[in-house]
Amino acid sequence: MHDPFEIKKAEAKDVPLIFSFIKELAEYEKLSHEVIATEALLKETLFGEKPHAEVIIAYLNQEPVSFALYFHNYSTFLGRPGIYLEDLYVKPEARGQGIGQKILAYLAHLAKERKCGRLEWWVLDWNESAIAFYKRIGAKAMDEWTVYRVTGEALNDLAASWQNPK
């Protein structure tokens, strides 16, 4: 019997679909105003000469219902790479069918295959259903860590302060 669920590695031809998932995710997270990515930029950074991340697309009955975008990071304490899951999104109509768990299991398997020491991601603190799900699969919150980010003008200013010692 044919399994109605399937995961495929994304290809350059999937950029419009990936971009639509990104926009849906941003709307769900109430962050649409922060999306400045374009299809052209995604094609360049995901499928160009030096890809910076990987994407998988999940299909249910041959319809795309979910995507995950991830890349390698590195743990100096473990002395091993890890996989950082930047985004995981399941369309509302496909939720509650185990798709998120299957994607995380796929990524965990990929991490083990690539000799990674961990799989990690962030979650918005208001997303209680996601937090409950992550706890059920054994994920631990890293409450003692605070994320810091430099972007936009602050990034420009910091970069401009660099003086290359000659």
Catalytic residues: 134
If you ran DSSP here, which 8-state letter would residue 165 be given?
-
CB atoms within 10 A of CB 101: 12
If you ran DSSP here, which 8-state letter would residue 39 be given?
H
Query: Tokens at residue 81, please?
Result: 């790479």
From the list 50, 40, 34, the residue with the least C-alpha distance to 19 is: 40
C-alpha to C-alpha distance for 56 and 88, rounded to whole angstroms: 10
Distance of CA 127 to the CA centre of its chain: 16
Cβ atoms 75, 118 nearer than 8 A: yes
C-alpha to C-alpha distance for 8 and 89, rounded to whole angstroms: 15
From the list 57, 50, 60, 85, the residue with the least C-alpha distance to 71 is: 85
How would you class 53 by CB atoms within 10 Å of its CB: exposed for 0-12, middle for 13-18, buried for 19 or more?
A: middle
